[in-house]
Amino acid sequence: AAAKQKLYLLDYGAGNVRSLLNAVERLGYTIEYIATANDFDKADKIIFPGVGAFGYAMKALQNKGFAEPLKAFVASGRPLMGICVGMQVLFEGSDESPSDPGLGIFEGRVRLFDSKTKTVPHMGWNSAQMVHEERGSTVNAPDLDEERRYYFVHSYGVPYTAAGKQGEFVYTATRYGDETIVSSIWQGNVFATQFHPEKSGTAGLAALRSFIESDLVRPTASKVIKAPVDIRKEFTTRVIACLDVRANDTGDLVVTKGDQYDVRESVDKGGDVRNLGKPVDLAKRYFDEGADEIAFLNITSFRNLPFKDTPMLEVLRQASRCIFVPLTIGGGVRDVVDPDGEQVWPAVQVAGEYFRSGADKVSIGSDAVYAAERYWQRVSEGCEPLDGKTAIEQIAERYGNQAVVISVDPRRIYVRSPDDAKGHHVIKTAFPGPSGEQYCWYQCTVKGGREGRDVDVRQLVTACAALGAGEVLLNCMDKDGTNSGYDIELIADTKAAVSIPVIASSGAGKPEHFSEVVDKTGVEAVLAAGIFHRCEVPIEAVKNHLSQHGIAIRPVKQ
């Protein structure tokens, strides 16, 4: 009977819903869009995958005339599943947008995480602990498992309380730093998760399947609040596989890997672009092997192509059909003019195309450097530095801060004394330069390291965080492809300067490098490329090592 049910998706156009369609299809079902208010009557079940900001979601529901039909749908007893902001709007309201009341189906308010005590957003894999025991074996319960990890990405959450009506219906709670939030709630015919099941690998697919295939109606009398549960801290360090993608000399799209950003073989080996495999195949392999996230960087994005022909769009479409962890796409996220000059694509539209093709985040390299230059220029002129004009601000406003990653390509510049650094933020290094220099600063580059700019990494990340970036992907040109370990000095210094997540990148050569960078810098995520592509160190070996070292990870098999 389940297969004949009409499953509908409530979309209001705020980001990546393709992943959810793909996940439903992977499970063998089809889903249709709610296009008009009348469609609510046709639906047997609705999935509501909120993406973006609370206020944007509520306004979109109101403008499309969906808020009342949605409430009526819930009142009719048919099953609804809310995801992320799709869960939050079921509550009474949110600090994110105090003037927009929520739907008020659940009691409680959505609050901003405290970023003084931890990194915000809460971005990564965490556990979901049951706070009730379902009484009676006849209850169809959502398929969540305390031993599995689920993917969260949000800056606002509903604080968990065992008291009152809310406490009665919370299904799982999750600890992040010093706060405990509602990670799923289940009341009657409404089940909702703060995490993204469509991005939570097989664990998430199981949760979705249980909603699609069973009638998850929670009998009010069936639950008992467990004795006060101690919600464990289970936030994990992410292991990310990064694929640098470009066309080789015969025009095929390949995964390549540079040696300090030089992706060509030496002249005696023919000087070709190194080819380490096909983007989608390799990414799929990393998903199967337990990567927590995949990043694609289009490293020759500055070459001119009509935007719609960007091969990365097709790579994303294909990858998102078989990969159910977050996908980041970078390269060319800026205002683009097609070569014939006819069509102009503002950066926010470029990002929108990527999200619709299956990306969860976009990463911005060169354009972030220009944005930071502009930011500090305005500061020096005494102007308000934020004027809403940068790609970072516009994409963050529309799709949420968590969707905007800054990719930094710095290189180390040695100086004899801090005074020689032209006012840049200087580090005293334990690894002196070629002439014994004891100080260095990190210069940001654009165009894949081809051009250095007068901006240091600290200036870049603080400006971009202020503009609304949600994460920093921190490469290092000196370390890239060397297998000699991460640049701990750079990473520690940068991590200390921002309260958004930092991904350590460049230089990983063995499992110990990963634990070293987490221990010494506290980064939220570790990234590698070459050692994974060349099969020198499998992802599982990295995770096993981290786990033995006492660093929480999402198990490869879960």
The site for ligand 1PR (CB under 6 A) is made up of 242, 244, 257-258, 261, 263, 297, 299, 301, 330-333, 363-367, 407, 409, 448-449, 475, 480-481, 505-508, 528-530
Give, in degrees to the nearest 5, the angle at Cα 20 between 358 and 406: 40
Amino acid letter, residue 405: V
Q: 367, 409, 487, 516: which is the annotated catalytic residue?
A: 409
What SS3 class is residue 118?
coil
Reply yes or no on whether 338 is catalytic: no
Q: Which is nearer to ligand 1PR, 143 or 244 (CB)?
A: 244
DSSP H or E run through 174: strand 170-176
Q: 96, 134, 143, 198: which is the annotated catalytic residue?
A: 198
Q: Which is nearer to ligand 1PR, 51 or 299 (CB)?
A: 299
Reply yes or no on whether 397 is catalytic: no
Distance of CA 82 to the CA centre of its chain: 19
Q: 100, 143, 244, 487: which is the annotated catalytic residue?
A: 244
- Nearby residues of 5 by Cβ (< 8 Å), 6 or more positions away: 44, 45, 212
Two tokens, residue 545? 């090592």
Tell me how far, at minimum, the Cβ of 308 lies from ligand 1PR, in Å.
17
Compute the half-sphere exposure of residue 472: CA atoms within 13 Å on the CB side of its CA. 35
Q: Which is nearer to ligand 1PR, 37 or 247 (CB)?
A: 247
CB 371 within 8 A of CB 446: no
Query: Of all residues in this chain, which one has the CB nearest to ligand 1PR in the complex?
Result: 448
Closest CA to 495 of 507, 506, 483, 487: 487
- Tell me how far apart the alpha carbons of residues 186 and 167 are, in angstroms, rounded to a whole number: 11
Tell me how far, at minimum, the Cβ of 515 lies from ligand 1PR, in Å.
16
Amino acid letter, residue 251: G
User: Do the annotations mark residue 50 as ligand-binding?
Assistant: no
Tell me how far, at minimum, the Cβ of 181 lies from ligand 1PR, in Å.
32
Q: 11, 84, 134, 471: which is the annotated catalytic residue?
A: 84
Tell me how far, at minimum, the Cβ of 195 lies from ligand 1PR, in Å.
27
- Tell me how far apart the alpha carbons of residues 363 and 243 are, in angstroms, rounded to a whole number: 13
Task: Kindly report whether the peptide bond that precedes residue 385 is cis, defined as omega within 30 degrees of 0.
Answer: no
Provide φ and ψ at 109, rounded to 5°.
-125, 155
- Tell me how far apart the alpha carbons of residues 425 and 465 are, in angstroms, rounded to a whole number: 17
Tell me how far, at minimum, the Cβ of 433 lies from ligand 1PR, in Å.
21
Which residue in this structure is represented by tokens 């926010």? 348
Helical ranges in 27-106 per DSSP H: 39-42, 54-63, 67-75, 85-88
Tell me how far, at minimum, the Cβ of 301 lies from ligand 1PR, in Å.
4
Q: Which is nearer to ligand 1PR, 144 or 299 (CB)?
A: 299
User: Do the annotations mark residue 84 as ligand-binding?
Assistant: yes
Reply yes or no on whether 292 is catalytic: no
Tell me how far, at minimum, the Cβ of 303 lies from ligand 1PR, in Å.
10
Q: Which is nearer to ligand 1PR, 191 or 345 (CB)?
A: 345
Q: Which is nearer to ligand 1PR, 233 or 510 (CB)?
A: 510
Q: 122, 132, 154, 196: which is the annotated catalytic residue?
A: 196
Distance of CA 159 to the CA centre of its chain: 22
Q: Which is nearer to ligand 1PR, 180 or 505 (CB)?
A: 505
Two tokens, residue 268? 């005696």
Cα dihedral sign, 338-342-347-351: negative
Two tokens, residue 77? 């007893």
CB 17 within 8 A of CB 51: yes
Amino acid letter, residue 27: L
- Tell me how far apart the alpha carbons of residues 518 and 553 are, in angstroms, rounded to a whole number: 12
Tell me how far, at minimum, the Cβ of 365 lies from ligand 1PR, in Å.
3
- Nearby residues of 301 by Cβ (< 8 Å), 6 or more positions away: 331, 332
Q: Which is nearer to ligand 1PR, 211 or 486 (CB)?
A: 486
Provide φ and ψ at 502, rounded to 5°.
-120, 135
Reply yes or no on whether 487 is catalytic: no
Tell me how far, at minimum, the Cβ of 208 lies from ligand 1PR, in Å.
31
In sequence order, the β-bridge partners of residue 245 are 255, 298
- Tell me how far apart the alpha carbons of residues 165 and 447 are, in angstroms, rounded to a whole number: 55
User: Do the annotations mark residue 332 as ligand-binding?
Assistant: yes
Closest CA to 98 of 53, 134, 154: 53
Reply yes or no on whether 425 is catalytic: no
Two tokens, residue 278? 């096909």
Q: Which is nearer to ligand 1PR, 169 or 514 (CB)?
A: 514
Binding residue numbers = 84, 332, 475
Binding residue numbers for L-glutamine = 84
Binding residue numbers for substrate = 332, 475
Which residues are known catalytic residues? Answer: 84, 196, 198, 244, 409
